Structure 1
Amino acid sequence: MSDEAAWLVVGCVPLIGVFSFWWLNIADVAVGILVVASTVLVLRNRALLLQPPLLLGLAWMLFVALAAGYATWSGSPGNQFRNWPKHIPIALGPLVAVALVAACRQLRLPTDRLVALLLGGVLVGALVVLLRNGGLDAVLQSRSIEDFLGDINRNLATLCCGLCIIAAMTLIHYFLFDPRARTRLTTLAALALVPLLIGLFDLLVLLRGRSGYVGTALALTAWLFALAAPAWYRQKTQRTPQLWLGAAVIGTAAVALGAYQAFVISGRSVVRGSLTETLHILGQLIVGTVNSSYPPLQTAEERLQLAAVGIDLIRQRPLLGWGPDVWLLPSLYSPFPGVQGVNQFHDGYLQFVVCFGALGALLMVALLLTLLRAALRKRPAGEAAMSPALFAGAVALLVFLLVVNVTESVLHVKCAAMIAMLLAALACIQPSAALSGRAAAET
């Protein structure tokens, strides 16, 4: 790979981060560049096809295409082939990792810098969306957002706000405390991000989004422990790691209490109706014993009604599901008038099983476990460790998406899907492998 091609590949990471929020065509072009570059490299070295993450990723993409064909043949409502691309970003991660590794080796660029580029792109892209839709005015006027912030709904605004907070906190720590990144310019940039971070926390309160509070709180908790726990484990006897771990525990309690108090102050109830009845319905939904005719569901939270409809649909097609396009299912099969107009199940995990059944779930779990194994593999001797701040930022992004996916089909949102794709790619890349690989080649 030439230097020019390598810079183009690396530049695609921040481009995807920025434009997956508000100019989707450019993000798609950037993804296409990564896919084409990786495909060329794989065809040159076909032994890469035997790597488990890439093999399972290709298998998943084939499975989604076959599931779309089967759903069309079996008469499932909707245009199945229209929506199948929304289900493949995670599977593209191992493929685009090939081009990213090659580019970093060519440029002698530590691969953990890709995380910094991603976070910077996410911060800019999400911030532009919030500013264009009146986020600054809402903060200055202390105005609570009921349903929409400008032209975007509250759920998308909360997603953007949470991602901005994670990116800003990570970059502040990275710029101030990582010796490889700390300069006068980055110090000034970190200080400039502090008032922005305060405004973002204020906006998160004003948005009054339940998943945003919980997701951001848990993501920041994971961020704190991702910074503290590794240092404490490596150097248990030193005072500094112990202080870090203590700060993480105190910070966790503060974040959890602050999130809860912000939610109470917002005046928005956690659940609608009796908490005891809601917990009873939830317990039965978890074990799959409640159908949509269960009387208490008639007045329950709408998301609980959607969950009951989803469980009914899974019972009807447990193995292969209803296909990639399930947008028409709530309107066609829901007995609850209040949710017949929605086009998703507001639970990414439930919707996934509705789409692909038990067989699809097993294949995806296998892919995710393979990615996790790749991310946790032992670092080669002599290889530079990943920046603690960037590692914590990647963990926080992952936790945030996992939590928000409980109440939203978040991976159908372009920006979240692209972040998930790049996190999957980063899991397949050894930190700073570019330096050791290039050095070995030169010696």
Structure 2
Amino acid sequence: MDFTAGLVWLLVASAFVLFMTPGLAFFYGGMTRAKAALNMMMMSFIAIGTVTLVWVLWGASMSTSNTDNFFQLFANPFSHFGLHNFTDPADLLHVGYAATFAIITVALISGAIADRAKFSAWTLFTPIWATLVYAPLAYMVWGGGLFSATGWFGKTFAPVIDFAGGTVVHINAGVAGLILVLIIGNRKGFGKDPNHRPHNVPLVMLGAAILWFGWFGFNAGAAATVQQAGLIWINTLVAPAAAMLGWLVVERIRDGHPTSLGAASGVVAGLVAITPACANVSPLGAIALGVAAGVASALAVGLKFKLGYDDSLDVVGVHLVSGIIGTVAIGFLATPTQGAAGLFYGGGTTQLVAQSLAALCSIVFTGVMTFVIAYPIHKIMGFRISERQEIAGADLSLHAETAYEFGVGGHGGSFQPLHDLITGKSSAESETPAKGKESIQA
């Protein structure tokens, strides 16, 4: 690929990936209850603010290969602090492209704790997690660290293949979401309340469409040649299509009907699975990978009810499960034309072992580090809103806003007046305190 054309494409791809985070906000926002939709969207948007600053100040430095590193886990955060050594336009573009990955990875986590997380605690969590979890794992995989060809793991087993983020993005976000769920606890009425359903499925479909659009930049932005970009583009088209069909077949057999939510979720599952493998499998391999991811994630999302963990928007069932499938499947499906060959192409078990161990190491690293970050935040400032705030809705309780106004001043629809819900006092309480108190408790 011509150098100038490559930079132009990287510029466009970076914009695609940044657009994915607002797309995720729509996707997640539609899946929540109406009274928490804005809060859910804000959790994605605040990640753009906090993680961008982290990345420019020290995150890019921590994930950039150099000789000054900490046991191949992360690079010196001060070697390029504030991008002071990045003066070449190409370097700055690569930093910006990498920043968009960090942003959406953090935003993905929020879906697991929808409807019940304190916005202040989440805002504090995002820059710390990006610093201590995302940046080190990005360095280990992409920056010349532990899992690379020059790292200890890569030399001992084989360099880990993760073209666009099976470990760094999806396994990482899925495990972090699970740890937060276990720390914060379940929503009130989880598994029993029929109102814990998506309030706006068209918004979910719109978000899924934006994600699919942006994913072509997500996967193909780092393509080294036109031929590689073409393969990645086709694989990014066909894998989610196959995953969508696989998910809908599971729904038809299990539930008796395919759903719009299932179609959108299947698309995302396929996109997740093809992410690490997009440059290393054939189109036929991408179809197989997509079907496997769609079926597996469709089955996995129901586990939260059996195991009792409230992963609100199926971050674990989709991103962790399909991320593992995509990462490990490379050991079977990688074609020799793209370097290392998988087991089905005569490459033996070497790459399969490396991929499996890398997925396991990522799970352990992220799980431990996320707990170390989130547990103190939960104990010191509380990571969860009160039961009263949850019942009133995170939008009104935390932001004094509603996603939908059906009347004037927030009085319409099922919403109580803003004054009542924010202050906890009825407008009639000053005249008849006892009666006002009873109405609020009811």
Instruction: Classify the TM-score, shorter chain.
Output: under 0.3
Structure richer in helix, relative to its length: 1
TM-score by length of 1: 0.27
TM-score by length of 2: 0.27
